């Protein structure tokens, strides 16, 4: 709210300068100053999340799916976010309405999965909405997978020295922290 008032007052001051002075060079300098100030204050650095490699070699984390905390493992070989039936039930997804008609290969072999869309999936400060996902039948998988249907939405991600770095896109300024760490 304060920033909005600041923007409005700066625009009013620039308009006042136009009326009062009519000097095109001075007006241009004032406009450039306002533009520069707004750019500096209106964008935060892109949100970033760092995830350390676990003892078993996996990159495990806790995500929030539709506001409910859920353990996940990053799997760049998974084309989609994949949830266990148990997690889908725990977060309140309509599991009784799911249609298991998608063929998938898991570490345990071939199975069917159901398509759905997650309203919101958050990993630290990275939040994506309307994320395509799959749910596998009860007992078919032991862990949830953070696959490419989430990772492809990020500005970038990569592995360096036993850490995965996930980088989101810059957002309009908020009071949130700029960098967060997802822990397992």
Q: What confidence category does residue 72 fall into, taking pLDDT thresholds of 50, 70 and 90?
A: very high
Q: What are the C-alpha distances in Å from 56 to residues 5, 65, 89, 124, 131?
A: 52, 24, 27, 22, 28
Q: Using an 8 Å Cβ cutoff, are 182 and 51 in contact?
A: yes
Q: Distance (Å, rounded) from C-alpha 33 to C-alpha 158? A: 37
Q: What confidence category does residue 19 fall into, taking pLDDT thresholds of 50, 70 and 90?
A: low
Non-local (6+) Cβ contacts of 73 within 8 A are 58, 59, 60, 61, 143, 144, 145, 146
Q: What confidence category does residue 169 fall into, taking pLDDT thresholds of 50, 70 and 90?
A: confident
Q: For the domain with range 48-181, which CATH number is right: 3.40.50.720, 2.40.70.10, 2.60.40.10, 3.40.50.10330?
A: 2.40.70.10
Mean pLDDT of 129-141: 95
Angle, vertex CA 107, rays to CA 142 and CA 97, nearest 5: 55
Is residue 57 classed as helix, strand or coil in its secondary structure? Answer: coil
Mean pLDDT of 154-158: 94
Beta strands of the chain (E only): which ranges? 48-52, 60-65, 68-74, 81-83, 100-106, 109-123, 126-135, 144-146, 156-160, 163-167, 179-181
Q: What confidence category does residue 22 fall into, taking pLDDT thresholds of 50, 70 and 90?
A: low
Q: What confidence category does residue 109 fall into, taking pLDDT thresholds of 50, 70 and 90?
A: confident
Whether the pLDDT of residue 16 is over 90: the answer is no
- Residues 53-83: b if buried by 16+ CB within 10 A, e if exposed: eeeeeebbbebbbeeeebebbbbeebebbbb
Q: Distance (Å, rounded) from C-alpha 35 to C-alpha 29? A: 10
What pLDDT score does 122 carry?
96
Q: How many CB atoms lie within 10 A of CB 142?
A: 11
When the pLDDT of each residue in the chain is averaged and rounded to a whole number, the result is 82
Mean pLDDT of 89-111: 90
Q: How large a percentage of the chain has pLDDT more than 90?
A: 59
């Amino acid at each position: 709210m304060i920033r909005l008032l600041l923007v409005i007052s700066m625009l009013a001051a620039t308009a006042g300068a136009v009326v009062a002075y009519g000097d095109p060079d001075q007006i241009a300098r004032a406009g450039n100053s306002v533009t520069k100030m707004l750019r500096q204050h209106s964008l935060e650095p892109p949100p970033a999340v760092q995830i350390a490699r676990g003892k078993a070699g996996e990159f495990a984390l806790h995500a929030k799916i539709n506001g409910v905390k859920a353990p996940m493992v990053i799997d760049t070989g998974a084309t989609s976010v994949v949830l266990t039936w148990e997690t889908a039930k725990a977060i309140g997804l309509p599991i009784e309405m799911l249609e298991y008609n998608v063929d998938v290969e898991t570490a345990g072999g071939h199975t069917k999965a159901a398509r759905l869309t997650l309203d919101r999936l958050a990993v630290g400060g990275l939040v994506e909405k309307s994320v395509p996902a799959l749910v596998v039948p009860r007992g078919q998988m032991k862990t949830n997978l953070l696959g490419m249907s989430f990772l492809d939405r990020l500005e970038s991600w990569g592995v360096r020295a036993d850490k995965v770095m996930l980088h989101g896109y810059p957002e309009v300024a908020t009071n949130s922290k700029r960098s967060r760490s997802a822990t397992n």
